[in-house]
Amino acid sequence: MSSDLSKIEWGSEELLQNSVKAYLATTYNQHAEWSGAPMASVPPSAFTPKPRPSTRYKMKSASDVLRSDAIKWRVKGVIPERGIAAIYGPSGSGKSFLVVDMAISIATGAEWFGYRVKSCPVVYVCLEGEAGLSVRLAAYRTKGSIPTGIEFIDQPTNLLDTKDLQDLVTAIKMNQMGGGVVIIDTLNRAVPGMDENSSVDMGHAINACKVIQQAMGGLVLLVHHSGKDATKGMRGHSSLHAALDAAIEVKRSGDERQWSVAKAKDGADGKEHQFTLAVMNLGEDEDGDPITSCVIRPIAGAGVRAKPLTQIQQIGMDAFMAAASANTGGADQSVHAGLEQWRDEFYRRSTADNPDSKARSFHRLRAALVDLGKLTNAGDVYRLPTGFPNQTT
């Protein structure tokens, strides 16, 4: 609201009265949001912003942005519902097996490595190792049926060829597989002859992925290789990493394999998840030799090494522990604190300069701490998964 009331066009007596009511309601709502009380309706008044002019580029206020939908996840905290993502690693790391495992979980909606999954159609474009695709699926069939929500394409395609790109989009749409996940395994085989280190060539490849994504409205997941120096991430020009909404890195050291979230917008990156490739015996070939393939097996209790908490998350954990200390000695022996207890303690510790900022910070950090496994939540009562920890990071 303007601090110079002499410049406001008050108009009618009714508008003046509404303006007073709007001022009082707005002031009340600022405190209500902080305390969690019901919000009051704000009548139209002289304080109401005038309609924005109609232009091609739309201006948004900070309030407009804050009301926007939060990111929606396909695999919670790992890959989003929409955009472009990649899973990469060196040859032999098990990334293709990992992608098949993820694809089946997405098609069924089953949890993947403990992460919640929203089911959707999956199109798997297998351009590398297509001869082994049938035995990979046969291996998974020993664990149960292959879901109907996943379809495969094993014909060669060139995403830099306009006709191939259009035909691929058409096939996805006509088979009613839009709005889901399209997996391209691998990026190198999908753009034959491309100079991966060229910003121009990589730009064309990224644009082709955007065409697919925008046409179908879901996620394009690229399978790619690490560079010669695996510590520097994906092979090729850095513009690919910059264009991604999410990235999963797969590593191998001897028989030990692990994947981690290398990039996730508004997600928790840095966690490492260990897995093994379990060999499945599928019978014998025409020469009497065994036919085998592998399935992914997460290593139970392997431990997850995560990045340290952010400063605001650490303040949130400290506030939780302080609030929980008031609840010791009762029938509930768990380390717990109610939402209001925790919020009040956090607000006392927060360095934010206004109640709105404190409320937004608290909302984000409590969701993040649950997603990171630091806390559990049931009925707005938050608990540590196990007793008092030695450290919270």
Instruction: Kindly write down the DSSP assignment for every residue of 203-233, as one continuous string.
Output: HHHHHHHHHHHHHHSSEEEEEEEB-SSGGG-
Q: Which two tokens stand for residue 65?
A: 């942005």
Q: pLDDT tens digits for 320-343?
A: 988 888 887 666 667 888 999 999
Q: pLDDT tens digits for 259-280?
A: 999 998 766 567 789 999 988 8
Residue 379 vs residue 207, higher pLDDT: 207
Report pLDDT for 10.
Answer: 47
**For residue 176, what pLDDT band results from cuts at 50, 70 and 90?**
very high
Cβ contact 293:136 at 8 Å: yes
Residue 377 has pLDDT above 60, yes or no: yes
**For residue 53, what pLDDT band results from cuts at 50, 70 and 90?**
confident
Pick the range with the lowest mean pLDDT from 8-12, 187-191, 253-257.
8-12
Q: Which two tokens stand for residue 354?
A: 């206004």
Report pLDDT for 333.
Answer: 65
Report pLDDT for 15.
Answer: 61
Q: Which two tokens stand for residue 330?
A: 């009762």
**For residue 78, what pLDDT band results from cuts at 50, 70 and 90?**
very high
Given the candidates 3.40.50.300, 3.50.50.60, 3.40.50.11930, 2.60.120.200, the CATH classification of the domain at 73-298 is 3.40.50.300
CB-based contacts of 39: which residues, under 8 Å, 6+ apart? 29, 32, 33
**For residue 392, what pLDDT band results from cuts at 50, 70 and 90?**
very low
Give CA–CA dist 76/84, Å, rounded. 15
Task: Please list, residue by residue across 185-220, b when 16 or more beta carbons sit within 10 angstroms of its beta carbon and e when fewer do.
Answer: bbbbbbbeebebeeeebbeebbebbebbbebbebbb
Give CA–CA dist 157/151, Å, rounded. 16
Q: pLDDT tens digits for 222-256?
A: 999 998 877 788 999 999 999 999 999 999 988 78
**Residue with token string 């490492």:** 272
Report pLDDT for 268.
Answer: 59
Give the mean model confidence (pLDDT) for residues 159-185. 96
Q: pLDDT tens digits for 10-33?
A: 455 666 677 777 778 888 887 777
- Residues in a beta bridge with 65: none
Q: Is the dihedral of CA 114, 115, 116, 120 positive or negative?
A: negative
% the chain with pLDDT above 90: 45
Cα-based distances in Å from 380 to 114, 334, 375, 376, 377: 22, 15, 11, 10, 6
CB-based contacts of 306: which residues, under 8 Å, 6+ apart? 268, 270, 271, 372
Q: pLDDT tens digits for 89-136?
A: 998 899 999 999 999 999 999 999 989 999 999 999 999 876 788 899
- Residues in a beta bridge with 292: 281
Say what angle helices 355-371 and 339-349 make with each other, to 10 degrees. 120
Residue 203 vs residue 23, higher pLDDT: 203
Pick the range with the lowest mean pLDDT from 181-185, 195-199, 383-387.
383-387
**For residue 2, what pLDDT band results from cuts at 50, 70 and 90?**
very low
Q: Give the residue among 225, 241, 190 at the shortest CA–CA distance from 85.
A: 241
Residue 305 has pLDDT above 60, yes or no: no
CATH number belonging to domain 311-383: 1.10.10
Report pLDDT for 386.
Answer: 47
Task: Give the ranges where the chain is alpha helix by DSSP (H).
Answer: 13-35, 62-66, 95-108, 133-141, 162-174, 187-190, 199-216, 239-243, 311-324, 339-349, 355-371
CB-based contacts of 33: which residues, under 8 Å, 6+ apart? 39, 355, 356, 359
Report pLDDT for 93.
Answer: 92
Give CA–CA dist 103/88, Å, rounded. 15
3-class DSSP state for residue 76? Answer: coil
Cα-based distances in Å from 315 to 5, 285, 392: 40, 61, 10
Distance of CA 129 to the CA centre of its chain: 28
**For residue 157, what pLDDT band results from cuts at 50, 70 and 90?**
very high
SS3 annotation, 88-103: EECCCCCHHHHHHHHH
Distance of CA 359 to the CA centre of its chain: 23
Among the ranges 44-53, 113-122, 382-391, which has the highest mean pLDDT value?
Answer: 113-122
Q: Where are the domains of the chain?
A: 5-66, 73-298, 311-383
